[in-house]
Amino acid sequence: MQKYSIFSLIKNAFSDHKKWDLAWKDPAPKKEYDVVIIGGGGHGLATAYYLAKEHKITNVAVIEKGWIGGGNIGRNTTIIRSNFMYDDNARFNEFGMNLWRNMSQELNFNVMFSPRGIINLAHSDAQMNAYARRGNSMRLNGIDAVLLNREEVKKIIPMADFSDDVRYPIFGGLAQPSAGTARHDAVAWGYARQSDSMGVDIIQNCEVTGFDVSGGKITGVRTSRGDIKTKKIGLCVAGSTNVLAEKLNMTLPIETHLLQACVSEPVKPVLDGVVTFGAGHFYISQSDKGEMVMGGDLDGYNSYAQKGNLPTIQHVLTGGVALFPFLSRLKMLRTWGGIMDMSMDGSPIIDKTHIDGLYLNCGWCYGGFKSVPSSGWTFAHTIAQDRVHELNEGFSLNRFSKGYLLDEKGLGTKTWIS
Amino acid sequence: MLNIKCPYCGDRSQKEFAYGGDGTITRPKLNQEISDEEWDNFVYLRKSPRGKHIELWHHIAGCRQWFKVERDTTTHEIFKTFKPEEEF
């Protein structure tokens, strides 16, 4: 594999950049693989990468119905954070933060990880108390958390509405200075390129049509490009998990919902970190190009449409304008939607299943992007060792029937309750 | 925006309604032993199909009645709306 560096850039400039190697090959599927990963998004590609790197399993195929990076890895708002209260979530995501910090060097691909910080705003005394508790829990898990009062928040985001007559005045906030953003496409491409260089086959335009299961064991997968034999399948298809689960006669604690995001026209630098509104569901950051990147609530009803409806955008931006009045004068450039696995407690599932050789990685809800490296790392461990790692043992499939929910913020499918 | 025909009030904008999830789920029978598996099925497990989906909606900013809707989850086409006691 050609290494990307200033020297290779200069060298290729002499040939008008026409002689770069392909970032990854386009192989036809082989008859058999040790492991087949279904879903060539961030989680699937990261899993393939860590299978090859950490576990030396390189006879791996990543099969993808569409193209690499066309799903939720290219549709999110690129926020990376580990500001969780529960130990299982906090440890898992803080492990991921360390992978993010080295990712550009490790993948030899500039993912533009930018630890610019996140602030969750509080709008009441009760919310300040809740954030103090969450901040303390974070610090006990070694995560940086800073409780800010109103004046401290005002120094960081002076353009927010600090006037006296607002409906939800800003009382303060909880900051995680080490949180940030990254270039989401580069994450997919970087993992794809490195996996490919270690021998993983990345097979695009290859739809799964069925599974071969005999005696409670996986024996293969049927695809639109032929049958593939394998003893281990990793399912990383957030957004389509229910569709593939149906082919396996499984019913999961997941509903599929649509989440929208939007960006404004680019403006000069005004916001350097990520800010979330505490009195509604709205979050915002500014991209390096200057666009305000915003998102919020689900559309609210089961959907596979990958395209949203306007009432939700209007609702989300109403919260946005309440927080940052200057937004009302910006034109929206684009809106888009992605389909989410909404698990019933708002936390993901990375586990084995009752079928031998079938491993499940799903339920990412609003926050799949930040977990790409930690999910790939732990899922690769789960597949390679046929047992969960201590980092993902809390994300079990049977926690619902056992009553060990990870209801971090009470965010699940039931948006009509919140 | 969805246009939903409330079986009691007629065609109204989506903004008047709240979503209530899968309309095919039934609560385990009262006054008898309910297993963990039955509770799991009732509370957590959902098919969430791609395609036709029977679901509950609440006309919360209208007549406040619950009713059922048959809708396509990829196109959002609404085929039929009916009262909860009506069989599909």
pLDDT digits (tens, 9 = 90+) for A126-181: 999 999 999 999 999 999 999 999 999 999 999 999 998 899 999 999 999 999 99
Percent of chain B with pLDDT over 90: 89
A152 burial level (CB within 10 Å; 0-12, 13-18, 19+): middle
Range of the domain at B51: 3-26+34-82
Domain assignment present for B72: yes
Domain assignment present for A212: yes
pLDDT digits (tens, 9 = 90+) for A343-352: 999 999 999 9
CA gap A315, A336 in Å, rounded: 15
Domain assignment present for A1: no
**A41 and A84, same structural domain?**
yes
CA gap A108, A120 in Å, rounded: 33
Note the pLDDT of residue A1. 82
CA gap A340, A256 in Å, rounded: 6
**A205 and A303, same structural domain?**
no
**A202 and A227, same structural domain?**
yes
Among A12, A29, A32, which residue's Cα sits nearest to residue A20?
A12
Contact list, A400 vs chain B (CB under 8 Å):
40, 43-45
**A195 and A150, same structural domain?**
no
What average pLDDT does the segment A100-126 reach? Answer: 97
Domain assignment present for A16: no
Residue A412 confidence (pLDDT) above 90: no
Tell me which chain A residue has its CA closest to the CA of residue B69.
Answer: A301
Q: Which of A342, A369, A393 is the last residue of a domain?
A: A342
**A334 and A236, same structural domain?**
no
Domains in chain A, number? 2
Q: Which residues pair with B4 in a beta bridge?
A: B12
Domains in chain B, number? 1
**A247 and A338, same structural domain?**
no
Residue B19: which of A300, A311, A401 has the nearest Cβ? A300
CA gap A41, A195 in Å, rounded: 13
Domain assignment present for B88: no
Rounded to the nearest angstrom, the minimum Cα separation between B15 and chain A is 7
Give one DSSP letter per residue of A81-146, joined into a string: ----SSHHHHHHHHHHHHHHHTHHHHHTS----B---EEEEE-SHHHHHHHHHHHHHHHHTT---E
What average pLDDT does the segment A351-372 reach? Answer: 96
CA gap A364, A288 in Å, rounded: 26
A332 burial level (CB within 10 Å; 0-12, 13-18, 19+): middle
CA gap B60, B42 in Å, rounded: 24
Contact list, A401 vs chain B (CB under 8 Å):
36-37, 39-40, 44
Residue A411 confidence (pLDDT) above 80: no
CA gap A177, A169 in Å, rounded: 23
pLDDT digits (tens, 9 = 90+) for B45-54: 999 999 999 9
Domain assignment present for A410: no
Domain assignment present for A415: no
Domain assignment present for B39: yes
Among A201, A252, A234, which residue's Cα sits nearest to residue A38?
A234
**A99 and A191, same structural domain?**
yes
Phi, psi (rounded to 5 degrees) for A312: -70, -45
Domain assignment present for A3: no
**A334 and A301, same structural domain?**
yes
A393 burial level (CB within 10 Å; 0-12, 13-18, 19+): middle
Confidence of residue A2 (pLDDT cuts 50, 70, 90): confident
What are the structure tokens assigned to B27, written together? Answer: 């609560």
Contact list, B1 vs chain A (CB under 8 Å):
309-311
Domain assignment present for A326: yes
Domain assignment present for B87: no
- CATH classification of the domain holding A397: 3.50.50.60
Domain assignment present for A239: yes
Tell me which chain A residue has its CA closest to the CA of residue B13.
Answer: A311
Supply the pTM of this predicted model. Answer: 0.95
Contact list, A414 vs chain B (CB under 8 Å):
21
**A140 and A85, same structural domain?**
no
**A98 and A131, same structural domain?**
no
Q: How far is CA B6 from CA A310, B9, B69, B82, in A?
A: 21, 5, 9, 8
What average pLDDT does the segment A227-250 reach? Answer: 96
- CATH classification of the domain holding B38: 3.30.2270.10
CA gap A298, A312 in Å, rounded: 7
Pairing between β-strand B52-58 and β-strand B66-72 as defined by DSSP bridges: antiparallel
> In this structure, are residues B76 and B51 in contact, taking their beta carbons and an 8 Å threshold?
no
Among A340, A341, A347, A342, which residue's Cα sits nearest to residue A405?
A347
Range of the domain at A324: 118-179+256-342
- CATH classification of the domain holding A336: 3.30.9.10
**A387 and A277, same structural domain?**
no
B24, B38, B42, B48: best to mutate for the A interface, most A CBs within 10 A? B48
pLDDT digits (tens, 9 = 90+) for A255-265: 999 999 999 99
B12, B36, B73: best to mutate for the A interface, most A CBs within 10 A? B73
**A79 and A223, same structural domain?**
yes
Contact list, B46 vs chain A (CB under 8 Å):
242, 251-255, 413
Phi, psi (rounded to 5 degrees) for A64: -135, 130
